[in-house]
Amino acid sequence: MATALEDRNLNKLLDVMCDVRVDKRELSKMLSVSTQAEQEAVFQFILEYIRWYAFQCDMNSFVNDNMEIAVTCRNLRDTLD
């Protein structure tokens, strides 16, 4: 079970990942000091994000009309699965 500190750190990581203004080096820095459980949670979050966008592509339902991201995620999903 995750501790309160792990929950806070995970929420910080997710906030960073969702903010397009954040430098990718900052994300790498945060991940490097996170616990393995937090890193795995972030990986699962990213994987589900890819699967969700790929599903949107499969259904020809592009979120915010962003077909390029959906197609890229579909290709990533096919590679990962």
For 62-73, the pLDDT digits (tens) are 766 778 888 888
- Residue-range definition of the domain harbouring residue 39: 4-80
- Angstrom CA distances, 12 to 5, 17, 27, 80, stand at 11, 9, 10, 26
What pLDDT, in 10s, does the model give residues 7-52? 777 677 667 666 677 777 887 888 889 889 888 888 888 888 888 8
- Angstrom CA distances, 31 to 42, 43, 52, 78, 80, stand at 9, 10, 23, 26, 21
Q: How far apart are CA 30 and CA 62, in angstroms?
A: 31
* 31 close to 42: Cβ distance less than 8 angstroms: yes
Per the structure, the count of domains in the chain is 1
Instruction: State yes or no: pLDDT of 1 exceeds 60.
Output: no
pLDDT band of residue 80 (cuts 50, 70, 90) is confident
* 58 close to 74: Cβ distance less than 8 angstroms: yes
DSSP state of 62: -
Specify the pTM: 0.63
Look at residue 6 in the predicted model and tell me its pLDDT. Answer: 73
